[in-house]
A and B are shown apart, each in its own frame.
Chain A
Amino acid sequence: MANRSARTRYGPIRRMLGMLRAHLGRLVLAVSASVVTELAALALMGTAAWLLARAAQQPPLAALSLAIVGVRAFATARGVFRYGERLAGHDAALRALATLRGRVYDALVPLAPSGLPAYRSADLLSRMVSDVEAVQDLVVRVLVPVSTAVVVAGVAVGFTALVLPPAAVVLAIGLALAGVVVPLLMVSAARRTARRLAPARAELAERHTDLLHGSADLAAFGATEQALTDAERAGERLARLERGTALTTALGGAGSMLVQGATTVAVTVLALDAGSLAGVMVPVLALVALISFEPVLPLVPAVQRLLESRASMRRVLAVLDARPPVAEPASPLPAPGRDVTVELRSVSVRYPEASRDAVDGVDLRLTPGRRVAVVGTSGSGKSTLLACLMRFIEPSAGTVLLNGHDVRDYDGDDVRAVITGVTQDAHLFHTTIRENLRLARPDASDDDLLGALELARLRDWVSSLPAGLDTEVGEGGGQVSGGQRQRLALARALLADPPVVLLDEPTEGLDPQTADELVADLLATTRGRSTVLVTHRLFGLDGVDEVVVLHAGRVVQRGTHADLVAVAGPYQDLWWASHPAPASK
């Protein structure tokens, strides 16, 4: 899915720069301020050198007055424009960041949660968010300094060419060496270093994980000391490699300084030998050569940073390029009413690059008020089935019918207005209980909210909180317990009041007692409503109309709990495994 240019070495950088075009005006402003700053420094030293040299020839004072004004003006300009450059650069960077965040969000909307691997891991997701932030670096630490260096070097060479053309050639070569060749050499050295360090880093990270996550296991088996020794050995190996590469990576700055010195000496020699050159220009040329390297020297870290952020850019572009798993119809049917019948007809779903169907030829019919439980081991396709019902994912074969129409002819949001509920890993936002609930129905009154909380058996708890509905739930709902989190998600689903309620593993991560209580409540509050309950715990299923047993994506058994438990088969096996008959002991 990644665009072809994203795979080439500089492709991602080029595309990211293309995206900055919207902020071209601000970027030009930032670069201009930066260029003026550096040119003022150059002019300050050049003019001051001219002033001294001319003064030594004892001209009338008037001959110097312009230079004196110049020296003072350039000195002031440098300070003021440096400030302006910093502000303009960051402003452009933050505007670019805002644009990119908006675009990434828009791209993510049709992808979440089935179209993006990042939605399977919180770590990947937060990495993606920091990847987006890398664009700031691209502007402030790469784009502005590189453009500045190019312009200032050009002006210095141009000025020198006007005064003494051969010196300009030498200066151009020197600046190109320090600004292009040295950074490229350093980058390729850094890449070699990174390749050598990568295995050592990976090994160390594994040892860290073992110690941080397995500390109890290690302690219980008396193996902590051994694991620490292993980790220290891995750490020392990495440190040894890093110390070894220090000698090379330190060469970058030294190399540029060497080129700067050689160029300055060479320009001085040429100036000294140029008979036609006015004497006052000798120090000017030498100092211009010396100072013109100042904006060029920081290019080594800038290029380094650029290449480091390339991986971030590539990942961001992959998100922007990802194809949504579901295509919306061009002219959707009118939204369905509240009487909803959903039907799956031999529906199969296969994820890209998977070797088998996640859901394989499943039939299911949900008439108004019918309640179905889907059970099976993890990986049996239960959640994929729900994603299909919510139109988060497209079946690869078969059809989903909504009131007799192919669901593909409806707008996805209209489908989810009638079929929704507690999704897998239902998210609580870092805000108040009220805002988290009102997500499901923005116009809900406090009475509506309390009613939904009542049904989810949370009303007393919320009333007992000092801030009540205004209580903050913390990051990811971290300020409330796991059971309260799930119940809040349930209250939110009940507030949305969809004709078809989906409940995906609503008891995940709860202790068995809490889990059983919650399932009992769930089944009680959703009575009379079309419901699909996905679970791997066989509890309370005698209260549903049909139990569907999934295995490896296929329906292997279906019927009522009483029917299924009475006959030999997977359901009975599952049932006896968790409910041993008292008589067997």
Chain B
Amino acid sequence: MVGVPRPCGRPIGGVLLNQLARRLLASLPAYRVIALAFTVLAVAGAVAILVQAELLARALADGVLSRSGAEALAGTLALLAGVFAVRAGLSWAQQALAQRAAASIKASLRRRLLRRTQELGPGWLTGQHSGALTTTLGRGLDALEPYFTGYFPQLFVAAVVPLAVLVRLAVADLASAVIVLVTLPLIPIFGILVGLSTKRATERQWRSLERLGGHFLDLVAGLPTLRAFGRARAQAVAVRRTADEHRVATMGTLRIAFLSALVLELVATLSVALVAVPVGLRTLDGGMDLETALLVLLLAPEAYLPLRALGSQFHASTEGLAVASRAFAVLDEPDAHGAADSGRPERAVVARAHEAGAPCVVRFEGVSVRYPRRDEPALDDLSLTVAPGERVALVGPSGAGKSTLLNVLLGLVVADAGRVTLTKADGAELDLDTVDVQELRRQLAWVPQRPHLFARTVAENIRLGRPDAGDDDVVRAARLAHADEFVTDLPRGYDTPLGERGAGLSAGQRQRIALARAFLRDAPLLLLDEPTAGLDAGSEAAVVDATSRLMAGRTVLVVAHRPAMVADADRVVRLEHGRIVGGSDRTALGVG
């Protein structure tokens, strides 16, 4: 974390902020300013507490002894009201500041997370539970709020207020101050001791709790299957039994977990009793005046309150810390194998215009790709040359390396060995090892198996191919892709906004939008990943027709499962286990 200001809350930070929390705070923009503001607010709050107790004790002592009436105490009472108002104002300022800080840190973490997911790239993302990531980025980060509005400002209060109260108590009555001084540390000490001794037991129990909790969702999700085999009613008993086991196990955990609450509460209240009773006896002896006695009684609980509050705020903020740790895990993710520099943030590359032109040559020379945690290489010393304007169909069983081959050309996967070059029509050679990936991608258009459509208008979705394209160009591309015929039937034609992930369109229609993108891009190299996969035969015909039109006059690599895609190719290359094992030559070019 070079260049990020380190948290300066050292005095409290040592014990109460773990590594995770420090890192979280380090992502807070303007951390120093906010920490300073919380310190000032905590000091002001402590002064207000002392003054309030002072004034209240004076008024009440007078009420007991001299009975001079409210009028005589008007000044004191007015001041007291003022102090209450000041405390309310300080509380408002603290909360407002904390909530603003929370909003900022959420935005900043979100920004970094998103950047990191794009750096890690599509290869990494497909391995993730994308629903969980979306949740983390959205509502998940909201769980940080209790941390910033509760625990974090309370840290400053807990550092300042007990100290201030102790000093004032020592001035008023040393004996009481000593009692508080001795008992006060018991709160964190007991908290830690109880926590440590129960940690292992609770952790073990939480795991079994999670399993029991997940059981219900599993049964609910499988209900259609249970009904199909007449087991649904029999499982109703299991639902109730599991819910009951869940309760018993949870209560077992809580009985231990709440022990710390019991100890903290007892220490705090018994200490007040320990202070109040001797003070009362000394007042009886005449050894202490009533005003001082009341002041001590009012101040003593204030010494314990911030520490107890800190404890409960901490529990409320643990979910936020869990989210933070998930977020940091993503940020710390090592550069995945599949992560070429797709959209690296430092390089502000704006999508420039495509590069139209004559078809180009693609050459793979001894290329190998090995994914982590896989025994077999995805591509194994593969050599292949695609001539200008040649259409090559890649066939073979799933997992043979067909998609990996395309992903290497797309710059989504980096080859471990070998050389991949792309020779433009003007003779310029782009070596994938050295070329800027954006420069490379300007040479190609891509139609994946399941193209992603964005929650924007149809026209904007097509314009992904060429952001500066005019309306006429968009419509022309859509016509070529057989998309125009259904787009014009949509309620607002090309301006119809699509739902999330293209909701509202069929798989075949989505595929035709993706083809329109490729038409609009008009790039010399075309990469297709079985564009008819998962389509019913009716839509397949339209997609096949549009695809063969798109392939004309370009260098094409198409992953093909279906005969229709193979039929249009000049050459068929068969892959198995990452190697070329054969294929039919329709041109003179050799197979590597």
Q: Residues of A at under 8 Å CB distance from B?
A: 40-41, 44-45, 48-49, 51-53, 55-59, 61, 64, 67-68, 71-72, 74-76, 78-80, 82-83, 86-87, 90-91, 94-95, 97-98, 101-102, 104-106, 108-109, 112-113, 119, 122-123, 125-126, 128-129, 132, 201, 204-206, 208-226, 228, 231-232, 235-236, 238-239, 242-243, 246-247, 249-251, 253-255, 257-258, 260-262, 264-265, 268-269, 271-273, 275, 279-280, 282-283, 286, 377-378, 390, 392, 413, 416-417, 420-421, 423-430, 439-440, 442, 475-476, 492, 496, 511-514, 536, 538, 573-575, 577-580, 584-585
Q: Given A58-B286, A219-B410, do A283 and B294 touch, yes or no (CB 8 Å)?
A: yes
Residues of A within 8 A of B453 (CB): 214
Contact partners of B69 in chain A: CB under 8 A: 272-273
Task: Let me know if B441 is at the binding interface, CB within 8 A.
Answer: yes
CB-based contact B115/A228 at 8 Å: yes
- Per the 8 Å Cβ criterion, residues 465-495 of B in contact with A are 465, 467
- Asked whether A225 lies within 8 Å of B351 as measured between CB atoms, the reply is yes
Contact A79 B266 (CB under 8 A): yes
How far does the Cβ of B253 sit from chain A's closest Cβ, in whole Å?
10
**A-contact 0/1 string along B288-326, CB 8 Å cutoff:** 011001100100010000000000000000000000000
In contact, B92 and A79 (Cβ under 8 angstroms): no
A577 touches B64 (CB 8 A): no
Pair B254/A212 contact, Cβ less than 8 Å:
no
What's the nearest-Cβ distance from chain A to residue B81, in Å? 5
Bound complex: CA of A585 vs CA of B118, how far in Å? 43
Q: A119-B224, A427-B225 are in contact. Are A52 and B297 (CB under 8 A)?
A: yes
Please tell me if the beta carbons of A219 and B537 are within 8 angstroms of each other in the complex. no
Contact assessment for B64 and A53 in the assembled complex, using a CB-CB cutoff below 8 Å: yes
Interface of B is mostly: helix
Q: Given the complex of chains A and B, what is the CA–CA distance between A64 and B277 in angstroms? A: 10
User: What is the distance, in angstroms, from A567's C-beta to the closest C-beta of chain B?
Assistant: 16
Asked if B551 is an interface residue, CB under 8 A from chain A, the answer is no
Bound-state Cα–Cα, A420 to B276, Å = 76
The minimal Cβ–Cβ distance linking B19 to chain A, given in whole angstroms, is 26
CB contacts (< 8 Å) of A417 on chain B: these are 230
Contact between chains at A430 and B111 (CB < 8 Å): no
Quick one: given A71-B277, A282-B60, A578-B537, are A56 and B290 in contact (CB under 8 Å)? yes
Interface segment out of the listed B370-378, B425-433, B556-564: B556-564
Q: In the bound complex, how far is the Cα of B215 from the Cα of A205, in angstroms? A: 29
Bound: A238/B279 CA distance, A: 55
Q: Which residue of B lies closest to A412 (CB)?
A: B227
| Beyond known contacts A235-B110, A254-B91, A268-B59: 5 more, CB 8 A cutoff | A94-B251, A205-B138, A239-B103, A243-B100, A580-B563
A80 to B267, CA, bound (A): 11
B88:A257 contact, CB within 8 angstroms: yes
- Set B214, B250, B455: member contacting A209, Cβ < 8 A: B455
Residue B332 interfacial (CB < 8 Å): no
Closest Cβ–Cβ distance, residue B458 to chain A (whole Å): 15
227-249 of chain B: CB within 8 A of chain A: 227-233, 235-236, 239-240, 243-244, 246-247
Most-contacted residue by chain A among B115, B217, B220, B452 (CB, 10 A) = B220
With contacts A223-B351, A573-B538 taken as known, whether A79 is within 8 angstroms of B562 at the C-beta atoms is no
A577 touches B538 (CB 8 A): yes
Contacts of A253 in B (CB 8 A): 91-92, 95
**Chain A residue at minimum C-beta to C-beta distance from B92:** A254
B137 at the interface (CB under 8 A from A): yes
Q: Are A247 and B118 in contact (CB under 8 A)?
A: no
3 closest cross-chain pairs (CB), A and B: A261-B84, A224-B343, A214-B452
Chain B residues within 8 Å of A105, by CB = 216, 219-220, 235-236, 239
26 contacts across the A-B interface (CB closer than 8 A):
A44-B273, A45-B301, A56-B289, A58-B286, A79-B265, A79-B266, A79-B268, A83-B261, A97-B246, A105-B220, A109-B236, A129-B217, A129-B220, A205-B134, A215-B342, A217-B452, A220-B410, A221-B464, A246-B95, A283-B63, A417-B230, A420-B228, A420-B229, A573-B538, A573-B541, A580-B567
Expressed in whole angstroms, the Cα–Cα distance for A83 and B260 within the complex equals 9
Partner of B224 from the list A56, A61, A269, A423 (CB cut-off 8 Å) is A423
Judging by beta carbons under 8 Å apart, are A55 and B106 in contact?
Answer: no
Q: Which of A113, A257, A265 has the most CB of B within 10 A?
A: A265
Contact indicator per residue, chain B 439-469, by CB within 8 Å of chain A (1) or not (0): 0011010101001111100000000110100
Q: Is the CB of B244 within 8 A of A98?
A: yes
The A interface is mostly helix, strand or loop, or mixed, namely helix
Contacts of A113 in B (CB 8 A): 223-224
Across the interface, do A79 and B270 meet the contact criterion of CB distance under 8 Å?
yes
A249 to B130, CA, bound (A): 32
Within 8 A of A (CB), among B81-111: 81, 83-85, 87-89, 91-96, 98-100, 102-104, 106-107, 110-111
The reply to whether A260 and B84 form a contact with Cβ atoms under 8 Å apart is yes
Given contacts A221-B351, A578-B562, A55 and B280 within 8 Å (CB-CB): yes
The residue on A at minimum CB distance from B111 is A232
A425 touches B96 (CB 8 A): no
B553 CB within 8 Å of chain A:
no
Residues of A close to B549: CB separation below 8 A:
none
Partner of B64, one of A214, A279, A578: A279
Task: List chain A residues, Cβ under 8 A from B171.
Answer: none
Please tell me if the beta carbons of A206 and B70 are within 8 angstroms of each other in the complex.
no
- Of chain A, the residue at the smallest CB distance from B406 is A220
Which chain B residues lie closer than 8 Å to A257 at the CB level? Answer: 84, 87-88, 91
A225 touches B255 (CB 8 A): no
Report yes or no: A272 in contact with B261, Cβ–Cβ below 8 A: no
Q: Are A265 and B216 in contact (CB under 8 A)?
A: no
The answer to whether A129 touches B216, judged by C-beta atoms less than 8 angstroms apart, is: yes
Question: What separation, in Å, do the CA atoms of A74 and B476 have in the docked complex?
Answer: 84
A465 to B455, CA, bound (A): 44
Pick the contact of A208: B93, B137, B398, B517 (CB < 8 A). B137
Note all chain B residues with C-beta closer than 8 A to A75: 269-270, 272-273
B125: CB under 8 A from chain A?
A: yes
Answer yes or no: B121 CB below 8 A from chain A CBs.
yes
Evaluate contact between B297 and A49: CB separation under 8 angstroms.
yes
- Residues of A near B345 (CB, < 8 A) are 225, 228
Q: Let me know if B118 and A228 touch, CB within 8 A.
A: yes
Whether, in the assembled complex, B67 has its beta carbon less than 8 Å from a beta carbon of chain A, the answer is yes
Alpha-carbon gap, A492 to B229, bound state (A):
9
* A52, B501: Cβ atoms closer than 8 Å: no
Q: Which residues of B contact A222 (CB under 8 A)?
A: 349, 351-352, 438, 441-442
User: Nearest residue in B to A51 (C-beta to C-beta)?
Assistant: B280
User: A217 contacts B451, CB within 8 Å?
Assistant: yes
On chain A, the residues within 8 Å of B61 by CB distance are 56, 283
Given the known inter-chain contacts A52-B297, A261-B88, please indicate yes or no for A269 contacting B247, CB distance below 8 A: no
Is the beta-carbon distance between B294 and A228 smaller than 8 angstroms?
no
A71 CA / B262 CA spacing, docked (Å)? 18
Tell me which residues across on chain A come within 8 A of B301, comparing CB atoms.
Answer: 45
Q: What is the distance, in angstroms, from B403's C-beta to the closest C-beta of chain A?
A: 11
Q: How many Å from the CB of A83 to the closest CB on chain B?
A: 4
A58 CB to nearest chain B CB (Å): 6
The minimal Cβ–Cβ distance linking B84 to chain A, given in whole angstroms, is: 2
Instruction: Assess whether B342 is in contact with A87, with CB atoms less than 8 Å apart.
Output: no
**B 26-60 binary contact with A (CB < 8 Å = 1; else 0):** 00000000000000000000000000000010011
Q: Taking the nearest CB of chain A, how far is it from the CB of B170, in angstroms?
A: 19
Give the distance in Å from the alpha carbon of A536 to the alpha carbon of B95 in the complex.
59
The docked-state distance in angstroms from the alpha carbon of A393 to that of B405 is 47
**Does chain A have a CB within 8 A of B75?**
no
Whole-angstrom distance from the CB of A482 to the nearest CB of chain B?
10
Selected from B64, B110, B227, B544, the residue in CB contact (under 8 A) with A280 is: B64
> Of residues A220, A492, A511, which shows the largest number of chain B Cβ atoms within 10 Å of its Cβ?
A220
Does the CB pair B227–A112 fall under 8 Å?
yes
| Most-contacted residue by chain B among A264, A427, A573 (CB, 10 A) | A427
Contacts of A250 in B (CB 8 A): 92-96, 98-99
Do the beta carbons of A219 and B351 come within 8 Å of each other?
no
> Beyond A246-B96, A378-B506, is A439–B225 a contact (Cβ under 8 Å)?
yes
Kindly state whether residue B588 has any CB partner on chain A within 8 Å.
no
